Structure 1
Amino acid sequence: MRRSLTLIGVAVTAALISTTPAASAGTTAGTAAATVFAPNPVQTLGRQDLTDAKDADLPVFAGAYRRVTLTDLDGTGRLAGRYVIVKSSTGKAATTVDGAFPAWHRDADQFEQVMGYYWVTTAQLYLQHLGFGSALRPVNQRQIELRIDQYGGDNSFFRDDKANISLGKGGVDDAEDAEVIVHEYGHSVQDGQVPGFGTTLESGSIGEAFGDYLAVAVTSWATGTPTLTPEACVADWDSTSYTSTAPHCLRRLDGNKHYPADVIGEVHADGEIWSRALWDIRTGLGDTRATTLIVEAQFSFTPDITFAAAAQATVDTAQRLYGTAAANTARAAFAARGIL
């Protein structure tokens, strides 16, 4: 079992539904309207003073809800589709009414179920938008099982032995923050590319870093770069339950940790060395090229890969896909962290 997060670890117009990337990507299965946070109320509202308030749907949250279109549904009226099936041990299972999911809010268990389905599917559609499954080989195009509120602590995790994700319900329920959901999906992505990935401190740190990076990349693609909160801040809604300073962040992608001086032997903390390198590649090359080469490089990883070997594989992939200038950008990012 891979523990991925720790305790350190309105309505809109129909135009939004039709132009949201997840809604507009080419799909062939069923669709249905639903209500979500996009990606979370802290980013949407720019409010660092929000608190969980025991799942209360306070008036302050009204402006954070968005009506979107769920895609790739299997047509049964449940939250089951091509890339994810949602299971929950709390509350009734979410089902459609007259072809749409009711506009549940955060005080209803079904809201988190919808969040899980929407954001896992959005993450997969983001990868396809980069060319994975068309110009490039498919990445994690399998149906995973997403378990909502079936872990009582403030933690979430991916189980590679069962290819499922569990999202916890301590503090802010983890499924209320899209970046927590997508972080966990990042582990599923790497496991799909390299079964059993993350067996050592350095490979495990790469896994946590990639999950953080993917969370930011996907949510910025789907909802736009945040303007009221720092883009590099990960899970700024979930983290309000266990951080005391603003902005609230589970972790950040733009820290200044250096290898090996700042290695402490904990995968989430050490992962910030790797995620800063990924962040700098994205800054230098833009989201599309950076994330494409980062994900493509992971096909050549091993379960126990080192920082240095993974960095060189990423540089080599940048050279193969985009040429010398891109490779130099990637190399410089890893060199700045002391990895190459």
Structure 2
Amino acid sequence: MRNTRRLALAAVAAFPLMAALPAASAADFGATATGTAFSPNPVQQLGDQSLTDAKDADYAALAPAYRQSTLTDLDGSGSLTGRYVRVKSDTGKAARIDGGALPAYHRDSDQFEQVMGYYWVTTAQRYLQHLGFGSGLRPVNQRQIELRINQYGGDNSFFRPDKANITLGKGGVDDAEDAEVIVHEYGHSVQDGQVTGFGTNLESGAIGEAFGDYLAVAVTSWATGTPAKTPEPCVADWDSVSYTSGPTHCLRRLDGTKHYPEDVRGEVHADGEIWSRALWDIRQALGDARASTLIVEAQFAFAPDTSFKAAAEATVAAAQRLYGATAARAATDAFAARGIL
């Protein structure tokens, strides 16, 4: 999940989305099960920057990071199929639920990544609903997506708008072992669900990468608590041990100092750090719930090829509409500090 990842999004964004799934009642997805997962990843949980992939080994230092978790919104079939995600994996047997529980899979089993993927996509959707999307606010991405686990051999993951699915790669640390990688990719699905084909040029693509990073941090902090042993704005602490030298492992950070336009590099992940810092500053000023709500709500007004400036103006307008002048000023200040407004 380096800065070379997810480069094909704009090229496939013009394809039509898959047909909508048949409507189902809430009762069709009322099953739950217990399973084992990282919450959100071993480096963040344990504060141990020396952890390594060790070729997918399950070694003693990782043992305290496994947590029993409750998987919700399942269809009751015994498979990892639910209201918001269905898991597909060709590299190992499908995880099976028996008597309301999954075996205690660990990272040396392909089924562990299947459980992680299901749990964290559902958690991300639950986070959006916790903000009011689907109740007081319009729904966001409340569709069932396909999550493909370990079907790409490289150290990369990506969302495909033409099929509305996410693929999580298995190079280095398997991407599905890090909740922040999973949720980052779900962020692309969220934006595509709001604006079909979002991310068709450099600036909108950078906004997409930035939002994925922001959502990854927001969701994992909401679900597990603000990290006490690693920096909260550090994204994908565990996945990045395979390709960063440390001493702190981060794919990217939300609290960088890049400024528009002099720090633009013409690469969506690098340039996204300009936008993500603005989102981080809004969150610091307004708190998670208000900041994330206005950030997500604003995206309904984006165009597929939106510019930084147009997207910033839409975000300020959403802040004003939802929370008034103080919130709008906080958003304006955050974008002005990055040179966007």
Tell me whether the two structures share a fold, i.e. TM-score over 0.5.
Answer: yes
Query: Is the CA contact 1:7–1:154 (under 8 Å) kept in the aligned structure 2?
Result: no
- SS, match of residue 87 in structure 1: strand
Query: Is the CA contact 1:178–1:215 (under 8 Å) kept in the aligned structure 2?
Result: yes
Out of 2, 6, 30, the position equivalent to 2:2 is 6
| 1:96 CA drift (Å) | 1.0
| 1:298 CA drift (Å) | 0.1
Deviations 1:39-95 (A, max 9, x none): 000000000000000111000011000001000000000000000000001110000
| 1:246 CA drift (Å) | 1.9
Q: Which amino acid aligns with 2:178?
A: D
Structure 2 residue 47 is matched with structure 1 residue 46 = yes
- SS, match of residue 126 in structure 2: helix
Structure 1 pair 7/284, CA: closer, same or farther in 2 (3 Å)?
closer
**In structure 2, distance between residues paired with 1:329 and 1:279:** 11
Query: Is the CA contact 1:39–1:179 (under 8 Å) kept in the aligned structure 2?
Result: yes
Query: Is the CA contact 2:3–2:270 (under 8 Å) kept in the aligned structure 1?
Result: no
- SS, match of residue 69 in structure 1: strand
Q: Which amino acid aligns with 1:215?
A: A
Q: Which amino acid aligns with 2:127?
A: Y
Partner of 1:220: 221
| 1:7 CA drift (Å) | 5.7
Query: Is the CA contact 2:78–2:97 (under 8 Å) kept in the aligned structure 1?
Result: yes
**Aligned pairs for 1:76-115 within 5 A:** 76-115=77-116
Partner of 1:241: 242
Structure 2 residue 261 is matched with structure 1 residue 265 = no
Q: Which runs of 4+ in 1 moved over 4 A?
A: none
Which stretches in structure 2 are left out of the alignment for 5+ residues?
6-25
**In structure 2, distance between residues paired with 1:95 and 1:257:** 46
**In structure 1, distance between residues paired with 2:191 and 2:3:** 23
**In structure 2, distance between residues paired with 1:6 and 1:309:** 28
**In structure 2, distance between residues paired with 1:338 and 1:111:** 43
Partner of 1:323: 324
Aligned-pair RMSD on alpha carbons?
1.1
Q: Which amino acid aligns with 1:291?
A: S
Q: Which amino acid aligns with 1:290?
A: A
- SS, match of residue 149 in structure 2: strand
Partner of 1:117: 118
| 1:316 CA drift (Å) | 0.5
Deviations 1:90-138 (A, max 9, x none): 1100001222111100000000000000000000000000000000000
Structure 2 residue 144 is matched with structure 1 residue 143 = yes
Partner of 2:210: 209
**Aligned pairs for 1:292-303 within 5 A:** 292-303=293-304
Partner of 1:161: 162
**In structure 2, distance between residues paired with 1:143 and 1:37:** 23
- SS, match of residue 72 in structure 2: strand
**In structure 2, distance between residues paired with 1:71 and 1:164:** 20
Q: Which amino acid aligns with 2:201?
A: T
Partner of 2:10: none
TM-score (norm 2): 0.93
Partner of 2:66: 65
| 1:245 CA drift (Å) | 1.7
| 1:8 CA drift (Å) | 6.6
Which stretches in structure 1 are left out of the alignment for 5+ residues?
10-25
Q: Which amino acid aligns with 1:316?
A: A
Structure 2 residue 198 is matched with structure 1 residue 197 = yes
Query: Is the CA contact 1:8–1:243 (under 8 Å) kept in the aligned structure 2?
Result: no
**In structure 2, distance between residues paired with 1:37 and 1:172:** 13
TM-score (norm 1): 0.93
Q: Which amino acid aligns with 1:203?
A: S
**In structure 2, distance between residues paired with 1:141 and 1:337:** 32
**In structure 2, distance between residues paired with 1:326 and 1:137:** 21
Query: Is the CA contact 2:3–2:269 (under 8 Å) kept in the aligned structure 1?
Result: no
Deviations 1:5-31 (A, max 9, x none): 33675xxxxxxxxxxxxxxxx986100
Query: Is the CA contact 1:174–1:180 (under 8 Å) kept in the aligned structure 2?
Result: yes
**In structure 1, distance between residues paired with 2:321 and 2:115:** 39
**In structure 2, distance between residues paired with 1:152 and 1:285:** 41
Taking every aligned residue pair, what percent have the same amino acid on both sides?
Answer: 77
**In structure 1, distance between residues paired with 2:277 and 2:30:** 37
Q: Which amino acid aligns with 1:198?
A: G
Partner of 2:309: 308
Q: Which amino acid aligns with 1:174?
A: D
